[in-house]
Structure 1
Amino acid sequence: MASPTPLPWADQPYALLATPPQNAHSATICAYEMTMAHNLFIRSTNSILLQAPHISDSTTPATYNPDDVKDILYYTSAFLKTVDHHHHVEETVTFPLLAAVPGVPSGFLDPPVEQHRGFHDGVVELQMYCTKHLADADGWRWAEMKRIIDAFAPALMSHLTDEVEMLLKLEPLCESAAVWQCWQATEKAALNDARFSNLYDVFPCGLGSSDRSFEGGNKFPPAPAVLIYAVQYWGAKRCERPGAWRFCPSDFWGRPRELVFLREVREREEAKVAEQGATS
């Protein structure tokens, strides 16, 4: 799959999930939507891994900018909140409902829950690191933050793949209508759990990690235009760190763009070269 921009983009280093083939059974529809949701998380992870290494810390005072540090930390924190919200809905609504569907074997939903536990501690550690250094940017070090990410990201990525495959396995086991009822309940629960505060972090992160051009075009996430406008002109501008959203791989309408911070780094380097040429 070609990158949508000349610079490295958020489809690497972790590969995006290909959407599964669709048929009339709702299990394949659920798997498709789960794939699209999981790709949001993969793009966010990649955006952090690609851009954060170019942020100077306080040991290089000539290029250090604490706003850059705080912005990437706020963006990372929003990403972690988005993942946590997603898994909370799964564990409290989706999985219990699916487990009760006739034809679903006992223990069928245990593996994804166990996988959640496998990377939970790493997610919590990274969230604590973000909180700590939002208040103390001078102490932030990318090497330490990357160590935390590298410790849990492979388990997270495996889970994102396995969970889609688990949904596809439901097709021969149970009735389509029963699976669809569970999915509708999940969507309702996710919407009901959406707090106004999400306008300031979860929604900007999720929308800014979408790609509506992916695989020829899509309408995911199915956010109404009024919500996108509310995020763009209210929440994203009035949150604690409005600069955080330059780390998003897309705009809030799901249109891929150059990774803004990489572009900023390139422009700074070009300006430095031009300045040196003018003074030589």
Structure 2
Amino acid sequence: MSSTNERPLYTDTPLALLATPAFLTGKKDPFTMGASHMTISHNSLIRGFNSIYQQAPRISSSDYEDFTGYCLAWHRCVEQHHMHEEVNYFPEIERATGQKGVMDGEVEQHAAFHAGLKSFKDYLTSLKNPATDFKAKKLLEVMDSFSEPLYTHLAAEPQALLALSRFASPERQFDITKIEKEQGKKAVTLDFALNTLPIFMNNMEVVEFEGGMWQNHPEVPSIVRWVMKSVLPLWNRKIWRFMSCDSAGRRKRLFA
């Protein structure tokens, strides 16, 4: 590990961040906001991917074990995010729209990078002694194998949510905001809060991104946000050293 002043500042590469529909259009209707919230979530996954990709070649062997734990937490975050969508969120959208299969395109996009994501996990869990067995080159090769379909999906899904506005009418009660909030609560368990939520919350840059317009996202009491971003990461803190942002939501100098 290099000294603090020598550590590079996190940058949005190799995957670029996605602009929110709210920022691009200035609209604040429920479908624009719902799609924007999904974009923010996807940007957190992108920053997680980038933080792994940037640091892997620079990690010291003494930190390999913690770093592989961070990588597996990112994998778990992506996997649980998509499983929740397929099991809970998408079926609720089908019910609200009356259109069975309306989100099938997004499920197919998930499948397009599933094998690569599995290879990512399989490589990391195969390391009997990370301090000697971990190879950054191998990890980056695996990440390169699924980065394109992953990014395609992360960019496309918010647009699919935005397009759901075509099903809203005075006759059909389609409250996308209510669905988003109710389904979001279902995703949070104690295990998720301790072992996955930190990598999601603290890869969410809100100070510089789009002029800071998302600093109050997610919309929860400030004490709850503080717990999520400052207290929960105290559990497994050595793993969370590799995140791209600090607890205030600013980009930070990476650990490696």
Aligned: 1:38 with 2:32: no
Q: Match of 2:33?
A: 29
Give unmatched runs, 5+ long, in structure 2: 1-6
Among 53, 57, 80, the alignment partner of 1:53 is 57
1:258-277 to structure 2, matched below 5 A, reads 258-261=253-256
Aligned: 1:109 with 2:103: yes
Q: 1:199 touches 1:230 (CA, 8 Å); kept in 2?
A: no
1:256 positional shift: 1.9
Residue by residue over 1:87-126, the C-alpha shift from the partner in whole angstroms, topping out at 9 and shown as x without a partner, is 122111221122233475x543111001111111222221
1:186-265 to structure 2, matched below 5 A, reads 186-213=180-207, 214-217=209-212, 218=214, 219-231=216-228, 234-239=231-236, 242-261=237-256
- Structure 1 residues 34 and 193, CA gap change in structure 2 (3 angstroms): closer
Q: Match of 1:119?
A: 113
- The structure with the larger Rg is 1
Aligned: 1:174 with 2:171: no
Q: 2:89 touches 2:183 (CA, 8 Å); kept in 1?
A: no
TM-score, normalised to structure 1, is 0.77
1:221 positional shift: 3.2
1:183 positional shift: 4.2
- Structure 1 residues 147 and 224, CA gap change in structure 2 (3 angstroms): farther
- Structure 1 residues 234 and 135, CA gap change in structure 2 (3 angstroms): farther
- Give 3-state SS (helix, strand or coil) of 2:92's partner: helix
Q: Match of 2:74?
A: 79
The whole-number CA distance in structure 2 between the counterparts of 1:235 and 1:200 is 6
The whole-number CA distance in structure 1 between the counterparts of 2:79 and 2:157 is 15
Aligned: 1:138 with 2:132: yes
TM-score, normalised to structure 2, is 0.84
- Give 3-state SS (helix, strand or coil) of 1:147's partner: helix
Q: 1:27 touches 1:179 (CA, 8 Å); kept in 2?
A: no
Letter in 1 for 2:143: I
1:224 positional shift: 4.2
Q: 1:37 touches 1:221 (CA, 8 Å); kept in 2?
A: no
Q: Match of 1:14?
A: 15
Q: Match of 1:271?
A: none
The whole-number CA distance in structure 2 between the counterparts of 1:224 and 1:81 is 26
The whole-number CA distance in structure 2 between the counterparts of 1:112 and 1:178 is 23
Q: 2:68 touches 2:130 (CA, 8 Å); kept in 1?
A: no
- By relative contact order (CA 8 Å, sep 6+), the higher-ranking structure is 2
The whole-number CA distance in structure 2 between the counterparts of 1:14 and 1:8 is 16
Give unmatched runs, 5+ long, in structure 1: 1-5, 57-64, 262-280
Q: 1:112 touches 1:159 (CA, 8 Å); kept in 2?
A: yes
- Give 3-state SS (helix, strand or coil) of 1:30's partner: helix
- Give 3-state SS (helix, strand or coil) of 1:194's partner: coil
Q: 1:207 touches 1:251 (CA, 8 Å); kept in 2?
A: no
- Give 3-state SS (helix, strand or coil) of 2:251's partner: coil
Percent identical: 29
Aligned: 1:94 with 2:89: yes
Letter in 2 for 1:31: A
- Structure 1 residues 207 and 179, CA gap change in structure 2 (3 angstroms): same
1:200 positional shift: 3.0
- Structure 1 residues 96 and 148, CA gap change in structure 2 (3 angstroms): same
Letter in 2 for 1:11: D
Please say which of residues 170-179 and 71-80 is displaced more in the overlay.
Answer: 170-179
- Structure 1 residues 208 and 232, CA gap change in structure 2 (3 angstroms): closer
Letter in 2 for 1:126: F
RMSD: 2.5
Q: 2:90 touches 2:103 (CA, 8 Å); kept in 1?
A: yes
- Structure 1 residues 121 and 249, CA gap change in structure 2 (3 angstroms): same
1:39 positional shift: 0.4
1:194 positional shift: 1.5
Q: 2:197 touches 2:228 (CA, 8 Å); kept in 1?
A: yes
